[in-house]
Amino acid sequence: GVAPLGPQPLNEEHKREIRMQESAFNHVPQPSDSERLRLYMPRNPYQTAQHFPQVPPPHSDTVEFFQRLSTETLFYIFYYMEGTKAQYMAAKALKKQSWRFHTKYMMWFQRHEEPKTITDEYEQGTYIFFDYEKWGQRKKEGFTFEYRYLEDRDLN
Amino acid sequence: NSSTAPNSMMHSGIMQAREIDDPPGLREKADALLREWVHMYHQPAAGRDSTKAFSNFVQHMHQQGILKTDDLITRFFRLCTEMSVDMTYKLMSEHGSQHQPLPISVKTKCFQRLDAFVRLIALLVKHSGDEANMVTKVNLLNKVLGIVAGVMMQDHELRDVSFQQLPYHRIFIMLFMELNSPERILENINYQVLCAFFNVFHVMRPSRAPGFAFAWLELISHRVFIGRMLAITPNQQGWPMYAQLLIDLFRYMAPFLRNADLKKSTLLLYRGALRVLLIMLHDFPELLCDYHYAFCDVVPPNCIQMRNLILSAFPRNMRLPDPFTPNLKIEMLQEINHAPKCQINYAGAIQPSSFKKDLDSYLLNRAPVSFLSEMRSTLQQPCPELGTRYNISLMNALVLYVGSQAINHIYSRNLSPNMSAIAHSAHMDIFQNLAVALDTEGRYIFLNAMANHLRYPNSHTHYFSSALLYLFAEANTEAIQEQITRVLLERLIVNRPHPWGLLITFIELIKNPSFKFWQHSFVHCAPEIEKLFESVAKSCSQQKP
């Protein structure tokens, strides 16, 4: 740039300001400073090679995009990105794929077949569920899904 | 008075941050309580939003006598702030080095404690007084924000260059987020919360706490803060506050930007400011439109792109005709008769009041002529802040005031501010006198003040475009014409965006043969200048004749 009006020496106050600003420059705020704590996947900024994608693909924050992800990816997002928009999107995508969340076991269930019994309080039959401790899908026969543990809020 | 009460709460909070004559044993009590709370906050049994833990904790606060008086509560907050901050410094000095980012695990530890403290503040604010008692909650919030700001200012002063922004940044942003969660109690006090945060950010502006400048810029450009300030709060109530924060930023940066010799840290802050301006230009162009005058008053004259960003904004419902359209007639546009909004009382900036009186009398009577020569000396007041021998603010106010008076005068005669209607008037006397009688520096500031109104189609743009071209045509020396060209050109040879009115004016200047633009010697003074003009002319789709 240019200084059309000519340079003007800084006064003492401005020199003090610039000194404080320069020292603050040595530890400028990082993105994580103004975000909720991420326990499992904290931000870890690193300069990656330029030919590597620097930004995620466009529209990767839509339900349509999340529905194209594998169920395992959705489960990963659900359990490891708690309290984020991504978790919300993952839950939405799972619901659309007929997975239901069990609020007592904190696991996702899907009917493997039509339930053998359905009442006002529960249904019973064979279910697939995702075990977040063993990290895999399991089958459970004769399981009773009590509706009071069914997470049925509208995600909209 | 209900509107000043929160403010006085904040200031008493700031003052109390310096009081250290605590009753014996209070620090130990506060320390034990804060530790206990951090522990409870992280237990699974804390309940959603820590509500279960909080009701137990309030009992303990009662038992310890903390909630007995307002004074004790205030001291408790101050001690907790100090202890939370000290803990951060301790962890940082144990694990971090000056120039390396803090290890993630250390940061996590800091945040786990700071976030717990923030949640405690948020819950105490939410549950202070009855549910319907908004005043108590708002007062408490202002008090706490004042305390945190006061502790920070003191820390900034004492620790000097080893001051750390991190703990305060975290407390402010997390508390803001907590208090903006979708809950009815909070929604009722939403506007007051916003005002409280505006006040505390204004108090901690970079000229007061330059060591906090980067975190401060992060705070005021945070997406949720911008959203609340400019989009969600009804009737644009947050706009004047946000404009004030931007003015705080520009005013702080001005002495460093005007010298063109930028330190790395200033460059980073400058890039941040450009980003915020780009966001404004894209999402809230009306803010830049309404406050362009106030912003241009504090942005140094050499920050061309910054000013172009401000001046390029136009109301979103407006469609601008392409300035390169052949035979575009600016008079034919509907919008050209509407005055732009200006949220600043520029007439009040014309000081001293005797000068304003003389000015009005001259505009009315076109006499005495002595006013014109006195005007020059009034404008010549050294302004070391911006590195000029002139009072730029007074010049800006004078130019806009005379211009808008001229427009009113022309409309009252049922004319439109074109080249012939603007001539031979008291208003034009003033402008012509300034163009002729000022020295190079004064004229540069004067012409810049005029060019600051070349924006989207409106009556000011039309008037000042015509006035600049008139001054060019009627100039008695080539130096004036060269300077007009310089002011326009230097705003065009920078990267986009370029204000619409600026392009229109420049194209008219080089296209309309009556200005004999290409016959002036300054156009041909150096081969690189000549090339520059040719390329600009080409891009304005007009070959050099």
Kindly report, residue by residue over B387-420, the tens digit of the pLDDT.
778 999 999 999 999 999 999 999 999 998 888 9
The pLDDT value given to residue B1 = 44
The pLDDT value given to residue B493 = 87
Residues of A with CB below 8 A from B388's CB?
A: 5
With a pLDDT cut of 90, the percent of chain A lying above it is 81
Tell me which residue of B210, B140, B208, B213 sits closest to B175, measured CA to CA: B140
* C-alpha distance from residue B307 to each of A2, A24, B351, B455, B458 (Å): 15, 27, 25, 11, 18
The pLDDT value given to residue B95 = 78
Q: Could you tell me where the DSSP H helices lie in B417-499?
A: 426-437, 440-451, 459-474, 478-492
**Which residue bears the tokens 């014309």?**
B350
Helix axes B104-127, B70-95, angle to 10 degrees: 170
pLDDT in tens, B223-242: 999 999 999 999 999 999 99
In angstroms, the CA B193 to CA A140 distance is 51
Q: Six-digit token pair at B178?
A: 């907590």
Tell me which residue of B485, B505, B487, B376 sits closest to B430, measured CA to CA: B376
Residue A81 clears pLDDT 60, i.e. is over it: yes
How many other C-beta atoms are found inside a 10 Å radius of the C-beta of residue B274?
14
Across the interface, whether the CB atoms of A33 and B218 are under 8 A apart is answered yes
| Mean of pLDDT values over B375-392 | 83
Q: Where are the beta strands (DSSP E) in chain A?
A: 100-102, 107-111, 117-118, 122-131, 136-146
Q: Which of A19, A28, A34 sits opposite B161 (nearest CB)?
A: A19
Residue B145 clears pLDDT 50, i.e. is over it: yes
| Mean of pLDDT values over B500-505 | 95
The pLDDT value given to residue B544 = 41
Determine the residue of chain A that is closest to B103 in CA distance.
Answer: A44
Residues in chain B: 545
Across the interface, whether the CB atoms of B256 and A6 are under 8 A apart is answered no
Residue A6 clears pLDDT 90, i.e. is over it: no
DSSP B230-297: IIISGGGTTHHHHHHHHHHHHHHHHHHHTTS---HHHHHHHHHHHHHHHHHHHH-HHHHHHHHHHHHH
The pLDDT value given to residue A93 = 96
SS3 readout for B166-192: HHHHHHHHHHHHHCCCCCHHHHHCHHH
pTM: predicted TM-score of the whole model, two decimal places: 0.93
In angstroms, the CA B305 to CA A1 distance is 10
Shortest distance, CA B212 to any CA of chain A (angstroms): 7
The pLDDT value given to residue B97 = 64
**Which residue bears the tokens 């976030």?**
B115
Q: Which of A5, A23, A45 sits opposite B211 (nearest CB)?
A: A23
Burial A102-136 (b: 16+ CB within 10 A, else e): beeeebbbeeeeebeeeeeebbbbebebbebeeee
Tell me which residue of B292, B212, B193, B205 sits closest to B245, measured CA to CA: B205
Tell me how far apart the terminal alpha carbons of chain A are, to the nearest angstrom.
Answer: 50
pLDDT band for position A156 (50/70/90)? low
Residues of A with CB under 8 A from a CB of B: 1-8, 10-11, 14, 16-30, 32-34, 36-37, 39, 42-45
In angstroms, the CA A122 to CA A142 distance is 12
Of residues A1 and B297, more confidently modeled:
B297
| Mean of pLDDT values over B113-124 | 96
The pLDDT value given to residue B268 = 97
Of residues B427 and B332, more confidently modeled:
B427
In angstroms, the CA B540 to CA B505 distance is 11
Shortest distance, CA A43 to any CA of chain B (angstroms): 8
| Mean of pLDDT values over B476-486 | 94
Put residue B181 in one of left, alpha, beta given phi > 0 → left and psi -120 to 50 → alpha.
Answer: beta
The pLDDT value given to residue B543 = 42
Which of A12, A23, A35 to mutate: most B Cβ within 10 Å? A23
DSSP B96: -
Residue B366 clears pLDDT 80, i.e. is over it: yes
pLDDT band for position B545 (50/70/90)? very low
CB B27 within 8 A of CB B79: yes
The pLDDT value given to residue B508 = 92
Shortest distance, CA B213 to any CA of chain A (angstroms): 7
The pLDDT value given to residue B96 = 64
pLDDT in tens, B180-238: 998 888 888 999 999 999 999 999 999 999 999 999 999 999 999 999 999 999 999 99
pLDDT in tens, B55-88: 999 999 999 999 888 889 989 999 999 999 999 9
In angstroms, the CA B82 to CA B92 distance is 15
The pLDDT value given to residue B497 = 92
How many other C-beta atoms are found inside a 10 Å radius of the C-beta of residue B72?
19
Work out the mean pLDDT of chain B and round it to a whole number: 91
Of residues B47 and B209, more confidently modeled:
B209
Q: Is the dihedral of CA B250, B252, B253, B255 positive or negative?
A: positive
With a pLDDT cut of 90, the percent of chain B lying above it is 70
pLDDT band for position B129 (50/70/90)? confident
Tell me which residue of B77, B98, B78, B209 sits closest to B156, measured CA to CA: B209
In angstroms, the CA A79 to CA A130 distance is 11
In angstroms, the CA B155 to CA B480 distance is 53
Q: Which of A2, A20, A34 sits opposite B211 (nearest CB)?
A: A20
pLDDT in tens, B464-475: 999 999 999 999
**Which residue bears the tokens 């041909």?**
B524
| Mean of pLDDT values over A108-133 | 96
CA angle (B40 as vertex; B39, B44 as ends), nearest 5: 110
CB B515 within 8 A of CB B509: yes
The pLDDT value given to residue A2 = 55
Across the interface, whether the CB atoms of A20 and B163 are under 8 A apart is answered yes
Q: Is the dihedral of CA B156, B159, B165, B170 positive or negative?
A: negative
Phi/psi at B342 (nearest 5 deg)? -140, 120
Number of H helices, E strands in chain A: 4, 5
Tell me which residue of A132, A28, A105 sits closest to B269, measured CA to CA: A28
Burial B309-327 (b: 16+ CB within 10 A, else e): bbbbbbeeeeeeeebeeee
Please name every residue paired with A10 in a beta bridge, in sequence order, or none if there are none: none
Q: Which residues contact A75 (CB under 8 A, 6 or more apart)?
A: A90, A94, A108, A130, A132
pLDDT band for position B425 (50/70/90)? very high
B45-54, B75-84, B154-163, B442-451: which has the minimum mean pLDDT? B45-54
Shortest distance, CA A20 to any CA of chain B (angstroms): 5
